[in-house]
Each structure stands twice: as structure tokens, then as C-alpha cells.
Structure 1
Amino acid sequence: MRITEPGYVPPSEEYWMALMTQGEFAASPAPEAEPEEIWEGLGMGRGRPIPMPSPEDLESGEPDWREARALLESGQLLKVTVVGYNRGGLIVQAERLPRGFIPASHLLQFPNALDGPSRQSALARYVGQTLQARVIEVDEVGGRFVLSERLAYQDQARIEALLAELRPGQIRRGVVTKVTTFGAFVDLGGFEGLLHLSEMSWGRVIDPGALVRVGQELEVLILDVDPAERRVQLSLKRLQPDPWETVAQRYQVGQVVEGVVTTVTHFGAFIQLEEGVEGLLHVSECGDEGVSHPREVVREGQRVQVRIIHIDPAARRIGLSRRGLASASKSGDEHTTS
């Protein structure tokens, strides 16, 4: 299966004929043969798929086509070593990846007007050098792995320009490109920033995928920019008011409220009173009679009535009690009242 970057124009078959028939240097014109005939002669015809390597194959040095495809899909840059050349361009290698090819037209600084011995000499000077490149074509069936130094440079310039203009406190619009267990990555226009799960909502976030999805457009706040490390930290929750800043306006000591148990530990249970505001029901306050473990009286997901016995907005803490209210505990189907 051939996968290419959108809008990519592949190098002509002349490149491939030179690559596969002349090895690592150009000494004569390409043979007069149909491209498919050459591929068939190398055992790489269209009708002969190349099997995906097993973990054992990878350990023994077989190229990892899965990683090659992942690099194409992500657009991530990689460093390759030039191990040879032919009249069409450079032959390159990176650890564990298939042997690749950079067409001369995709080299950053190469005088394409050169011909003959001068062209061969110019290409030969690249051997042994390390280049930064971007994958532009992966053809597992045909065994083709094509890269571009020019596009890698363009990406670099765009990224550097974007990082230079990003400032903490800015609000930017981006697109979610990946959702993980620890957050989401958001493309800000050529560079991805990290939206950590702790910055997704003022409330407790267990599954980032429940809040954002790949392809979704978001407005995010720039928290921090580190050009040296190429890291940008983002926030979604800080575009909304912090509920703790006004918590004293909504809750008072002695007030009986209803909330949902989110976490039960040996020392108590955390009760969510509203999104972003949780209070602690200490084990000593779980009931009128002695309770050795909170699970004896509450469970995650249960809706319970509690009394507020302490409020400290600065420390983001609310103390709760069920003393005298144990009989008022309700099921998870009931509605919150205050």
C-alpha cells in the first residue's frame, strides 16, 4: 500500500531505475526497461506484497515499515545518514527504518542544473553527512521510502516563526490532533502544543477523550512557551472562571448540600459539590457512630447529603460531615438540592 503526503508529486521512475540498478553511485544512464520490469526483477513487483515485520524480525535488523508509516502520518522530522547516491539523488539510512531515498530536487541546497561528472561529484560529497528530513512517501509493496530535506527545512522555518510569536497569556485557536491518557495535542498552525488533563477542566478529568476529540477546533490559552525545548503548554480551563474564587458566595458553614462521591480512601471520601469544587468527608465525620472505613457508608458515584463544617477558599478546601444526616443519604438517581 502506498501512502503519500497530500499534494506530493512523486519522483519520476527514472530516479527509481537509477536507484535500483546503479547502486550507490551513478556511472551510466538508466537501462532501457520498463519500471515495472525492474521492480519485478528485484522481487518487488506490485503483486508481491512485503509482509509486516514481526518483533523477532525487528530485533534481527529487519526494517520497520510500521514506524516509517507513522513518521509519514505524524510529519515528524528525523535524522538520516547519507550512505550512497545515484544520479537521481541520495540514498539514506536511519536506524531500524527502511533504506530511503532523497531525490536531488528535494535537497535543500543542490544545483539541479549540474549534469554529468559535476552532478555526480556534488552528490558524492553528501556521503557520510547527517541530514534532517521529512518522510513524503511510504510504499511497503514497492519497497519505496522517500524523504525530503527541503520540506523539513520549510517545516523548521515555520515552527521557529510560530514559536517566536507565541506568548504566555495569548488565546489561540487550534485543532486537536491526538488524544492520550494524559491529555491532548493541539495543532496551533504547524506546531503542536500539549493540553494536559490537569488543564482541561476545573473539575476532575479521568478520560480526556470524554472532553475533546480528534479534529475538534478549540480556543486555548498559552500557558508557557519553551523555544529551546520546543514545548508549548496550553490550558482550556483557564478560559473559564475559577469556581474557587467565588465559592464563599455560594457556600456557608452549617449549610446542608448534596454532592456526588468521586473518590473513597481509608481516611475519607471526596464529594463533588459542583464542577471543580470538591470537599472532604473525613472518616471521623462519616456518621454518628464510629466508622472504621468510609466504604462502610459511602461508595463512588453515590449522591449524599453533607453539612459544610469548614471553608478555606485560599487552600481550596471544604470540610464536610454526615453527622446527623446519615438517614438522608440518597441514591445516585436523585437530583442535587441545597
Structure 2
Amino acid sequence: MRPGQAVTGTVTGIADTVAFVDVDGFTARIRQPELAWRWVGDPSSVLAVGQEVTAAVLGADLVREELYLSLKATEENPLIHLADRIGELVDGVVTKLLPFGLFVRIEDRPDGLEGLVPEAESAGEAVQVGDPLTVRITEVDLARQRFLLSRRRALG
């Protein structure tokens, strides 16, 4: 099997940060970051034991007879379309407050895309997790798989 090749297998187990898949007798692993383009906290929210999946091969350890797979590699990267929207105003919901800024989910769904509003772009407003917020998309970094938002630029 070679990197990029699509394989089909059956989920045999799920742990905190990894799912195990049987692919023709090999134990394959899908690590948490490879489950989806969006953040997945618990692999069991995406997969179930006994489920058949098709994933792309990332690599193999022939000594251990293990494959490393990616579900997200079989899907289109949602940030590609977001890159065309730089400068747009979007509505979102505050999901995390951190010392360096806050995260805002800009899609109206639990697994929506979350972008960072750096502290310098926050406009100094007191916000809490769950608050609705209008922000401007300011940067999309496909290489680092992240995007930046601005509350300050959304107001002015």
C-alpha cells in the first residue's frame, strides 16, 4: 500500500484519540487530527465499532504490520472556500476565551469551523462563551490549517 491510496476497512475499536480499523488483516490507526477537517474531540462522535470506512493511506509500519490512515484526506478541505471570502463579515458564536484572543465558530453547526480573533482584533468588548458575534475574515492560512478573524474591523 502506498501513501494516498484509498483503502476500505472496518472499525474494530475506538480509544480517546484514535480509531482502529481492520484493513485486510492489518491494524490501521486513524489518529484524532485525521478524522475530519473540523475539530473532533471524541473519535466515537465520528465513527462506530463495526462501521465500514474508506480512508487514505498516510503511511505504514511493516514491522508492526500497522497502517496509518486519514479520513479527512478523502474530503475537500473546507478552508479552500473560506479563502475566497477574505474581507467578508460573518456571524458566529464565541466558543473559547484565551489570554491571547478568542475563538469564534462561524458556521451554524456544532462542528463548524472555528477561527481565532487575536486579542489585538477583539475591540475590547467583554464577551462570554456562547455569545453571538459578527466578525470579519482577515486571513486564511491553508498551510497551517487556520484562519483569523477580526471584531475590530467588523465594527469600523
TM-score for the superposition, normalised by structure 1: 0.41
For residue 127 of structure 2, what is the amino acid of its counterpart?
V
Structure with more strand by fraction: 2
Q: Specify the alignment match of 1:256 in structure 2.
A: 89
Structure 1, unaligned runs of 5 or more: 1-165, 327-338
Distance in structure 1 (CA, Å) of the matches to 2:128 and 2:154:
13
Hey, what's the Cα distance between the residues in 2 that align with 1:213 and 1:225? 23
Distance in 2, matches of 1:312 and 1:190, equals: 38
Correspondence for 2:136: 307
CA contact (8 A) 2:83 2:139 kept: no
Aligned-pair identity in percent equals 38
Report the Cα offset of residue 324 of structure 1. 7.2
Instruction: Summarize the alignment of residues 54-203 of structure 1 with structure 2, pairs less than 5 Å apart.
Output: 166-203=1-38
Q: Deviations over 1:246-266 (max 9, x none)?
A: 3322x122x210123333211
| 1:215 to partner: Cα distance | 0.8
Q: Is the 8 Å Cα contact of residues 261 and 270 (structure 1) preserved in structure 2?
A: yes
Higher RCO structure, 1 or 2 (CA under 8 Å, sep 6+): 2
What is the CA-CA distance between 1:203 and the residue it aligns to? 0.1
TM-superposed CA distance for 1:171, in Å, is 1.1
Alignment partner for residue 281 of structure 1, among 113, 117, 127? 117
Decide whether the 8 Å contact of 2:121 with 2:153 is kept in 1. Answer: no
1:181 Cα shift?
0.6
Could you say what secondary structure the match of 1:281 adopts?
Answer: strand
Give me the CA root mean square deviation. Answer: 2.3
Change (3 A) 1:189 1:313: closer
**8 Å contact from structure 2 (residues 79, 140) kept in 1:** no
**Residue 243 of structure 1 corresponds to which residue in structure 2?**
78
Equivalents in 1 of 2:44, 2:106: separation in Å?
A: 23
3-state secondary structure, aligned to 1:169 = coil
Structure 2, unpaired ranges of 5+: none
User: What is the number of equivalent residue pairs in this alignment?
Assistant: 152
Please state which structure has a larger fraction of its residues in helix. 1
Task: Indicate yes or no: 2:132 matched with 1:298.
Answer: no
